[in-house]
Structure 1
């Protein structure tokens, strides 16, 4: 049974206070008969201590944040190690950039995601400027039904050898996608639209989307875009220079190892 029922763990502040209160327990006095103080007395002691030492709350929150960050970092490293092959060697995921590059960038994205579209030219510029980065595309349609339709169309386009051209066309489109927009983009990049639509119904494509969703969950990627570069998971949009720094960090890490 909780000692402090008045402490709720609904947010970081409450969790920090809980950690602080538990840390104070060993220092709390007992009655002459070695019986614990009652609830009201304990609450009063904690309150008086916090009022007299408000900086302790910030210290507790910082300690909690550091602990959670360390746990999250460790969990991410373990997930990356366990799922490295699925991330970088899946035969069904489209490959771009330099297929023989010495650094691999894995991207999770949704064609209706504004942040994905915003970071697309930044990522493209960084990859092109480097020249030695291999890109693995992980279709992760989570925002709309048309996102899923576009993802299936893109994977079908990969079978015609036009994945990156089609991918760029969809990423460059401003606004929500629909069936007509997807077909028009397919025609514009020279796809056989009828063949694309036939391939979109292949269960293997649906299996790829399912596998990508499961992989994202394991890595803690809950939104788009999400990137994996070396041992770093980047949950969100970043700029070209940040991509470049991450590419270089992977190479430097190999030298250090």
Structure 2
């Protein structure tokens, strides 16, 4: 690891040579180099890369890991800042134990294939962990079809049918349309006329906008994304072991 740190410093030197910038020194401070010293450093770096090309590959991997960690820290800070809003949700969006000791927030798009694939995994997760309070936040990020289904599901909450329509639409493979929403609503005992009207109501639009604002605030870049307390932000489809590991981190805080 020390070799990589020195080499990363060397890369910084290499990139700064042309402008004579101040760069890292051996003691952790900064140094300025003469023209002769800069030429010698370039020569040393070039020879090192020629002798062992894997140094660059490993150094770049180390840089990527550092950047990923920095991004994770930034997102975690944003989650802590907005945690009160993230965990505060209407009862109809809460699954598992509504009085659970640990809250997990799931951002999902009803048209997202990965979100759909996670449905059985989330059910198994809640069955394994009876202390989990799972908050669902619908965010339509995949186009008009996503917006349509999200509006319909949120509108169904006004008839006490949020979970029913969410499940029905997320299991549906037909192309999204208002007529298709009507058909599925009627098949599930929902007043379709009222549903279509409520889809553009201020309550529905405000809820969707709030979810999107929270997603933006924490730097969400895809669905599904799971937020395990304020400890872990996990994007993508997760397996059972990953979810259990992230939950344990959330429990530890």
Mark yes or no: TM-score above 0.5: yes
Structure 2 CA distance for aligned equivalents of residues 241 and 21 of structure 1: 38
Deviation readout 1:27-80 (Å, 9 max, x if unpaired): 9xxxxxx84149887655532232123233134223312321331222122111
Q: Which residue number in structure 2 is paired with residue 234 of structure 1?
A: 234
Task: Sort the Cα spacing of 1:128 and 1:160 in 2 relative to 1 into closer, same or farther, 3 A.
Answer: farther
Residue 207 of structure 2 aligns with which residue?
208
| Match for residue 22 of structure 1 among 12, 21, 24 | 12
| 1:1-257 aligned within 5 A | 20-23=10-13, 35-37=34-36, 44-91=43-90, 94-230=93-229, 231-251=231-251, 253=252
Q: How many residues align?
A: 232
What whole-Å deviation, never above 9, does each CA across 1:209-232 have from its counterpart, x for those lacking one?
222222212222211111111221
CA contact (8 A) 1:110 1:142 kept: yes
| Aligned position for 1:4 | none
CA spacing shift, 1:226–1:60, aligned 2, 3 Å: same
Shift of 1:18: 7.7
Contact kept in structure 2, 1:146 and 1:179, CA below 8 Å: no
Check the 8 A contact 1:120/1:171 in 2, yes or no.
no
SS of the residue 1:167 aligns to: helix
Structure 1 residues 215 and 146, CA gap change in structure 2 (3 angstroms): same
Gaps of 5+ in 1: 1-16, 28-33
Contact 1:93/1:137 (<8 A) preserved:
no
C-alpha distance in structure 1 between counterparts of 2:243 and 2:69, whole Å = 23
**Distance across 2 between alignment mates of 1:45 and 1:244:** 48
